Structure formats: structure tokens, C-alpha cells
Amino acid sequence: MKDRIGIVYSPGYGAGWSTWGRPEMALDQTLANMLEDGKPYSEIEAYCKVAWPDAYLGGLEDCVVMWVEKGTQFIIKEYDGSESVVFNHDNYWMTAE
């Protein structure tokens, strides 16, 4: 997966992961690999507490990984804690002309 980047997001309702925490949390490749490898939640939580000691970690239990090609443009949208990944090619961006 060296040509891919893992986007970590929380699709469950309740608390957003990077939208309620910090944006860079969505691109943490150590976390993406831990989730992909099925590491125990306690190990994942311990890592996150060290990586972001002052960040809100709500939504962590619901996090999943979406693997995309490097250079893919995206945003993470959130509604009521449920996050979704939207890509630039999904025509979400509008241009005022």
C-alpha cells in the first residue's frame, strides 16, 4: 500500500473523529495501519493518547480506514458526529462565476 494513504474517519453517529478532534488525525498512517491490522482497541487508544494528549478522542471506537491514492483531494464532512469522505471529483466543490 505504499502508493496509498489511509484516511481515518468515524462514520458512526455520536462524535466525529477528526472533525471534533484535529484534522491531521485523519491522516495518521500509524493509526490507519493499526486499525487495518485489527489491533486491540486498548492499544489503539493508548497510541492516540500519546500522539494527541490534548485532543478530543471521541469517535475513536467507530473509526474505519479508507485507502486512497496519494494526491487524492478530499474533505471530511460531519453531521451529528457521523463523518463521511467527499472527493473533489464528486463535484461537491462549486465555483462562483
What is residue 73's predicted lDDT score, i.e. its pLDDT? 84
Grade residue 87 by pLDDT with cuts at 50, 70 and 90.
Answer: confident
For residues 8-16, give the mean pLDDT. Answer: 92
For residues 75-94, give the mean pLDDT. Answer: 79
What is residue 25's predicted lDDT score, i.e. its pLDDT? 93
Beta-carbon contacts of residue 12 (< 8 Å; ≥ 6 apart): 59, 61, 62, 81, 82
Is the pLDDT at 61 greater than 60? The verdict is: yes
